[in-house]
Amino acid sequence: MSTGSERSWSARLRRRAVAALPPEKLLPDAQPAYVASWIYVFGVLTLSSLAVIIASGCILALKGPAWWHVTGIGHFFNSVHLWAVELFFFFMVVHLWGKFWMAAWRGGRARVWMTGAISFLVAIPCALTGYVSQQNFDSQWISTQAKDAMNAAGIGAFFNLLNFGQMYSYHVLLLPVAIVAIVIGHILLVRRHGVVPPFERERLLTGAAPTGGLREGE
Amino acid sequence: MAAIFDLNHHAAYLHWHFIDVSVSNVLVIAVMLLVFAVAVLAPFPHGRSRGSS
């Protein structure tokens, strides 16, 4: 490859990406000894639930409402999608509790916490807009209650929650794309900064009470 | 296909000041707290050390 191509934007981007996340960091084959607790499993459980949600949601979108409302197999995938959402929030909240109590934003990991919090906040309207897909009186009721909530928050002029097509489109496309993008950023940041060390390790190494937290490798 | 549990009745609600939550919701929250406690306290199987820090 000539010297000139090294100045191209793609080469610069590649160097920056590899510098930030070399392959052994992007796909590690070992983990710190302190990551030996069941609480660390809930992140991947949340991810697995999200994968099932996306997969079952794609099948539901491909086949359409007449399929999932009427046929047995459609009803099954509808139920898989619903229960995957229930498990997604269950595991995500337990993951959130664990990360909060271990102060996982320490050591330069503030963006990891922020992306996690944002993905939680975006997942909530994504789940709530899914109710309109029931296409029954219950979903209309939920829409009217949500419209009242948006009006009370002062943003009712921007979102018409009674617009079924719009809310269904938010649920099927816009919000899942946003969630997946934020989760990818969240995971890449975890890979980059590493899992936060426990308080005891920081106290042992620095001889002081934990403050800012250790960065990876300290 | 008959449902295993009869879902065609009103849910029981617990009401305390402004908090109005169904019994099933309270049970789910209790299970989440229990799972969190077990996850933190339960022993984790230690495999062969492979040069981890």
pLDDT single digits (tens) B2-49: 567 777 788 899 999 999 999 999 999 999 999 999 999 999 887 655
Q: Provide the phi-psi class of A198: left if phi over 0, else alpha when psi is between -120 and 50, else beta.
A: beta
Predicted pLDDT at A173: 96
Distance CA B24, CA B31 (A): 10
φ, ψ for residue B16, nearest 5 deg: -145, 110
The residue out of A23, A56, A90 marking a domain boundary is A90
Q: What total number of domains does chain A contain?
A: 2
Whether residues B53 and A32 touch (CB distance < 8 A) is answered with yes
To which H or E segment does residue A126 belong? Answer: helix A110-129
- The 3-state DSSP class for residue B26 equals helix
- pLDDT for A27-57, tens place per residue? 999 888 888 899 999 999 999 999 999 999 9
Last residue of a domain, one of A47, A66, A90: A90
Q: Is the distance from CB of B39 to CB of A39 less than 8 angstroms?
A: yes
| Residue closest to A147 by CA, chosen among A121, A175, A125 | A125
Domain extent, residue A145, equals 103-197
Complex ipTM value: 0.82
Q: Provide CB contacts within 8 A for A152, sequence distance 6+.
A: none
Instruction: Say how far apart CA A79 and CA A206 lie, in whole Å.
Output: 51
A125 and A182 inside one domain? yes
Residue A1 lies in a domain: no
**Which chain A residues have any C-beta within 8 angstroms of a chain B C-beta?**
29-33, 36-39, 41-42, 90, 93-94, 97-98
A106 Cβ contact list (under 8 Å, min separation 6): A196, A202, A210, A212, A213, A214
Q: What is the pTM of this model?
A: 0.86
pLDDT digits over B5-14, tens only? 777 788 899 9
Co-location of A190 and A152 in the same domain:
yes
Q: Could you tell me if A156 and A76 lie in one domain? A: no
Task: Return the structure tokens found at A129.
Answer: 């807009």
A107, A49: one domain: no
A73 with A110, same domain: the answer is no
Torsion of CA A112, A113, A119, A121, to 10 degrees: -160
Answer whether residue A211 is part of any domain: no
Please report whether residue A212 resides in a domain.
no
Give the pLDDT confidence of A159-175 residue by residue, as tens digits: 788 888 999 999 999 99
Q: Which residue has 């079952």 as its token pair? A: A56
Cβ(A193)–Cβ(A116) below 8 Å? no
* One domain for residues A110 and A166: yes
Instruction: Give the pLDDT score at A113.
Output: 97
For A71-122, the DSSP string reads SHHHHHHHHHHHHHHHHHHHHHHHHHHHHHHTTTTTTT-HHHHHHHHHHHHH
Q: Are A38 and B39 within 8 A, CB to CB?
A: yes
* Same structural domain, A44 and A84: yes
Residue whose tokens read 């919090």: A117
CATH number at residue A168: 1.20.810.10
Residues A181 and A134 both lie in one domain: yes
The residues in B 1-53 lying below 8 A from A, measured between CB atoms, are 28, 32, 35-36, 38-40, 42, 44, 46, 49-53
Q: Are residues A84 and A113 in the same domain?
A: no
Task: Indicate whether A25 belongs to any domain.
Answer: no
Phi, psi of A211 (to 5 degrees): -125, -85
Out of A57, A90, A123, a domain closes at A90
The answer to whether the CB atoms of A39 and B40 lie below 8 A apart is: yes
